[in-house]
Every structure is written in C-alpha cells, then in structure tokens.
Chains A and B, each alone.
Chain A
Amino acid sequence: MSIQPENIIKRAGILTGVLLLFLAIIAVRIVVIQVKDGKKYQDMSVSITEKIDTIYANKGNVYAADGSLLATSMFRYEVRMDVVTVDAEILRDSVVPLSKKLARFLGETPEYYQKRIHQAISEKNRYLFIAKNLNYPEYQTIKSFPIFNLGANKGGFITIQNTVREHPLGKVAQRTIGYDDYRGMPGIEGAFAAELRGKNGLRLKQKIAKGQWKPINDANEIEPQDGKDIITTIDVNMQDIAHNALLEQLVKHQAEHGTAVLMEVKTGEIKAIVNLGRAADGSYYESRNYAVYESHEPGSTFKIASMLVALEDKVIDTSTVVDTEGGAWELYGKHITDSNHKGYGKISAARSLEVSSNVGISKLIYDNYKDNPKKFVDGLKRLGLDQKLGVPIKGEGAPIIPTPGTKSWNGTSLAWMSFGYGVQLTPLQTLTFYNAIANDGIMVRPKFVKEVSYQNNKKGAIVYPTEIINPKIASQETLSKLKAIMMNTVKRGTAAIIYTPNYSLAGKTGTCQANYWTNDMYYISSFAGFFPYENPRYSCIVVVHRPIDGYYGSTVAAPVFQKIAHKIYAATPTVNKVKKGSYTYKALDKNYEAYTFQQTKTAIMPNVSGMPGMDAISLLENMGLRVQIQGTGSVVSQSVLAGSSIQKGNTIYLTLY
C-alpha cells in the first residue's frame, strides 16, 4: 500500500492537535496549581521537609558538698529481641548459648529463656522482651551475648533508651534529695525543680538524607537553657556514718522509724540527714522526711526551752532548790511522775534537768508562772518555737505551742508543757533551737543548699548565705548555764552512758510517751545536743519512734549521737607544734642508722626476728629479696638464718605472730 501525502499531513495534523491539547491542559493545570492551589502545596512541601524541633535542656545535677553526685539524669536501657529478622539457622544455633548467658546474667533458668525464644519464633514475635532498667555496663554485657553481638538487623537486637533520674549513691539521704515526677515533689529536687529543669529551646530544621534533620538558621529560634546544678550541704561521709549508726539502733530496738540530723553550728549547714522507716519485710529505707515534716511532742528535750525562759525572766536560778518529793506530784487530779518512780529529793534546778525530773521542772515553772502563764508562753514564742523554719523542702510540719485563753488551754497545760507535752515540734525545729544555744544565741536557719550554679560554669552562681532567724535568743549568762547543764547531763546525768573523757559532749535526752490517751501507748526516744562543749562545731538530734527492748532516750537515741561525734573526733587531726632543734632522740637515730646500714649489706641475711612485719618486709625487699609472710604482727621466725649468705632475688619466708 502506497502512502498518500495528504494522509500523512492529515494524520500529522491530528497528532499535533492532540499534543497541543495536552500542552494546553498542562498549561492550565500549571496555572491552576501555581495560582489557585499554590499556597496549599507550598505549605505541604514545607511541612514535609521542615519541622520545628524541640531542643531539650539538660537537667541539672544535685551534688554533695564534696562534689559527689547525689542525683543526675542518665540513660537506662531496655532490651528486646526480633526473632523474625534474623537468619533462622544462626538463631537455631544461638538459642542454647544465649539462654545460658541470659540465665547467668539475669537470673531464671536457661530452660526459661529457651522456652520463651522458641515460643517467640512460633508466634513470629518481633518484639520479645528480654530485660529493662539496665545501666550502661549491663547493657554492654547483654549486647556482647551470642547473636545479639551481630547487631540490630542480623542479631535482632532492639534497644530502647530511657532517660531516668538516678541517685548514684542509692540510699544516701534519698528522701532529702527527693525527686520531681508523677509521684510528687519531695526534697531538694522538688524544691528546686524549676532551677534543675531549665528551659527547652526550639529550632527550625530541614529534612536531609538518612532521616536526619539539619538546622536552617545559624541561631536557634529559642535558645535552650540548661538546668542549673544544685550543690547541697550534705557531707557524704558523715551521712554514711549517721545512716549506719541510726540503722543499727533501729534494728536493735525494732523501732518503727527514726531520724538523725547533723548540723554545723556556725552556718546551719545540714551535714547529714537520715530518715529511716520500717518496711513490711522488716528492713529499713528512706521512706518519709520525718526530720522535716513530723511534728510530735518532744518530751524532755523541751525542758531546756522551759529552763531558758525561766532563767531569762529571772524567776529562778540554776541553784534554786526544788523538792521532787517521791517522784510524783498531783495537779488537778493528774499525776506528774518521774521515770525512776521515787524522785530525787530536794535538788537544784540545774540538777533536776540533768536527771530529767518531770516533777522538778514542772514545779519550777508552775509555781512561778501559774498566775501569769501568758508570760511563759510569750517567752517560748520569743524563741520562735511557734513558727515554721521556712526550709525550702516542701511539707514542713507546723509547730504547736498552746496559748492561754484558747480552747486548747486548761489548768494542767502550763505544768505539762514545761516538760514537753501538749506542745509539738519537728526534729529539725528542736535541733535549730539547740543549735542556737551552741551558737552563742544566734539562731540560724537550717541550710540544705549551698549553691545553685550553671553547669560547668562557676560564674553567675547563686551562693546561699547563712540566714539568721534570731540574732540573740538569750543572754550570754543564761546560755552558759544551759550549756553547762547539758554538759553535766552527759557527764553525770541521764546521758552518762555516752560519756567519754576524750571529748566533751553536751545534750539532753528525751523519753516521751506518745498516743498515751489510747491503749496503744508507745515511746519516742530522742537526744539533742552539740559538741565539743568548749567550742561547739556540730549540733545533732536523734529521734526514734516506737522502740522496743528499752525506750530511754539515753539507751536508744544517744548512742547514735555519740557514734557521729566520735567519728568526727577521730577524723579531726590534732596538731602538735614542736620547735625545731628542741628535741633529739639519740637512741632512735642510732636504731635508724643501724637499720639503713643493714640494707647496704646485701650479701648477708640480717636478723629480723622480733621486728614488726612492716619493717622486716621493707628491709628485706630493699635488699632485693622476695618476702613471703604468714600471719600478722612481729617476726617470730625467718626461713634463712641470720648471717647466712644470700643473693638478690632469693625468697625469704617469714612467720609473724
């Protein structure tokens, strides 16, 4: 068939027409897209390739005074396994060794893991749970197990990273450091939550290859502000000592809970704060911040406050004689009794505190203030004992000091409150009062936080000064008298059990009945005091609730105080100054010369018997010999006789005893 030229032109014309039509449609579409829907598509493109990214601020850390980490944010790892993605053959070979290793590392039996992995294979589980809450080294260990060491795709190893708040030292002052999460905001973490958290920033980013995002502008849209670091006053070593001292007493007396707080006298810095409560299984843990929140009747430790008011009002003196009668005194049909049940006869006011006579102090206060009880209560209020301390930690307990003329006041109130009943204070409030006595009358606010500073930058840190609540709670004369009473309480009074001639402790015991209006009466044993007496450095309070097997403040609480004090005493070096050239020890010098001389005679075995082990070893090793020892103490026999010839590198066996 021949091709007609007209036909070709006709067909070309149709084709051109169709193409032109397409072009026209495309042109119209372009215009429509560009002009009509342009905005919509541009926005869509931006939303796919751009995003506003939150830059999370790093949370600050909580440090102890010496720089130990008390709380920080870190990663915890959760490990899961994908049994589908891995090569079936490799998996089959790895099940047994993997199960064995997992069992050894995580507990459970190898069969347990084998069964779970086989079950996961049959169910095609791509997300089999292995372990969670792993720290980094643990995570690394699991990662090295067979099949997991092949990585994510070949090994089916799935990692989920979580940021958690950790207390690296665990038990240490856990409740005081606290936390800030769904459970609440106790402790320092709660009080300084805003400072620690910082502020998150924002940044505009564009999508690039490999699922990464790159920032569009040089600067962040909103700069993140890292949280600040909190440097607390806690001394890790003191905290450790106090923790274990209190724990030991709580266990010994199977008490319900207890607290111990150590405070630096001059600055009010809290060096240690322990709060231990008994769990259902009988172990103890940092359950609540008893020292801060628990307002309770202080009992005998309050007598010092009563005495202070009476001395300041000059209604009595320490030498005023009071008749403690037979250890019982009836007032409005109620009996005030002494713990020894027979009284102390006629004694001085000072002595009545040393032996902690309830009859003594209540008679002294009642006789002098019964016509004007308001004067006594006002005296207590002047000390600030009716006010909260205003510590940063949330939930401080409110003190109670009853006022005459109110509903809670009756005829017996005055006498009973003089020995600490009907009033309520938290342990920290009592301690602050005792600290003021030790601190020449200057009442300082307990200080938990030394400094709030920027991470890795000392500039711009907020340093917290010592805050004074009351510059002078009493005259110097009164303070000296009270201090002497407290020193004598330890020397010859109720706390004589902790007396030691090595260093001077001062304090007051408290043995208080709680819940006494019900059948479920129990005791609160406490001790508050300071040391050393001459130049007080630390004050301390110990409170133990519901001890059994003994309930006196002296036997339950005071030993904790003594342990803490002893530790500080033993850790504080004493400096002895000797004048140069004022001493010669000829015998010693001669001995030393002989000893060093022997080291030079390396061919002959010296006589080391009788020498302390450490001297013998260093002598022989300096001579180039090897030494093997047995036992401890001084040398009783040597394997090579003195005078024998020896060579460098010989081994000498020594028996020590």
Chain B
Amino acid sequence: MFVIVLLILMIRSAHITDEKVIKISQLKKQENELRAEYIALRSKSMILKLETTVVEKVKEMGLHPADKPPQIIREVDPNTP
C-alpha cells in the first residue's frame, strides 16, 4: 500500500515537472517578446530625447537652446564659513 502511494506521488510530481517546463517555455517566449518591445520603445524614446530632435521640434514655437549658461543662485548662511 505504501509503495502504491509512493508510486502515485512519483507520477504526480513527474507531471508537475512537465507542466512547469511547458510554462517556463511559454514565459520565456513572453519575456523575449516583452524585451523586444522594450528595446524598440526605448530606442524610440532615446532618439526623441536627443537634443537635436528636441531643438528641431520646438523650432516652430520660437524656442532655441540657451546661449548663456544657467545661473544657480545659492543662498549661504553667513554664519557658516
């Protein structure tokens, strides 16, 4: 009787493994697809982020890159050196 229980357990666990293998391969496929999508979108966003792309896009609005550097005004406490 005990042996039969063990046999059933063994068969069941073999089936679970098989199911997991199939699931892994499905997830792997999904992962690859998502990766492909991610890279395609990231590539697009990186090109959009380039300064020359932005400059071209805002030209019509009359905007252009600053000629002078940005000024940071930092308030310092006179008591701390």
Contact = CB atoms under 8 A, between A and B. Distances in A.
A241 B51 contact: yes
A212 B52 contact: no
Interface in B47-78: 47, 50-52, 62, 65-78
Interface residues of A, number: 44
A573 interface: yes
B46 A572 contact: no
A573 B41 contact: no
A293 to B, nearest CB: 27
Given A209-B18, A212-B18, A72 B73 contact: no
A166 B43 contact: yes
A213 B22 CA distance: 8
Nearest to A247: B52
A576 B46 contact: no
Contacts of B78: 579-582
A137 B41 contact: yes
Contacts of A210: 22
A169 B76 contact: no
B69 A74 contact: no
B74 A576 contact: yes
Interface string A547-577: 0000000000000000000110111111111
Given A212-B25, A578-B74, A137 B40 contact: yes
A236 interface: yes
Nearest to A210: B22
A573 B71 contact: yes
Contacts of B32: 75, 161
A632 B61 CA distance: 9
B10 interface: no
A581 B79 CA distance: 11
Interface in A115-135: 135
A150 B71 CA distance: 59
A214 B21 contact: yes
A69 B40 contact: no
Contact of B18 (A68, A161, A214, A570): A214
Interface residues on B, range: 35 or more
Interface in A197-218: 208-210, 212-215
Nearest to A237: B51
A215 B24 CA distance: 12
Contacts, number: 103
Contact of B69 (A215, A573, A577): A573
B46 A68 contact: yes
B71 A570 contact: no
B8 interface: no
Contacts of A212: 18, 21-22, 25
Given A170-B47, A240-B51, A573-B69, A579 B18 contact: no
B46 A69 contact: yes
B20 to A, nearest CB: 8
B27 interface: no
B25 A74 contact: no
Interface in B24-38: 25, 32-33, 35-37
Contacts of B62: 632
Contacts of A75: 32-33, 35-36
A576 B71 CA distance: 7
A38 interface: no
B7 interface: no
Contacts of B67: 566, 570
B60 to A, nearest CB: 11
B42 A69 contact: yes
B39 interface: yes
Contacts of B21: 208, 212-215
B18 A573 contact: no
Contacts of A632: 62
Contacts of A577: 74-76
Contacts of A578: 73-76
Contacts of B68: 502, 570
Contacts of B39: 69, 72, 74, 136, 166, 168
Given A209-B18, A570-B66, A137 B46 contact: no
A68 B39 CA distance: 11
B69 A569 contact: yes
A240 B65 CA distance: 14
A74 B40 contact: yes
A580 B39 CA distance: 49
Interchain residue pairs A-B with the least CB separation, the first 5: A168-B43, A136-B36, A214-B21, A75-B36, A135-B40
16 contacts: A68-B46, A69-B43, A69-B46, A72-B39, A75-B32, A75-B33, A136-B37, A136-B40, A137-B37, A169-B47, A208-B18, A209-B18, A213-B21, A567-B65, A573-B72, A577-B74
Given A240-B51, A575-B72, 18 more contacts: A74-B35, A74-B39, A75-B35, A136-B39, A166-B43, A168-B43, A169-B43, A208-B18, A212-B21, A214-B17, A215-B21, A240-B50, A241-B51, A567-B65, A570-B69, A573-B71, A576-B71, A580-B77
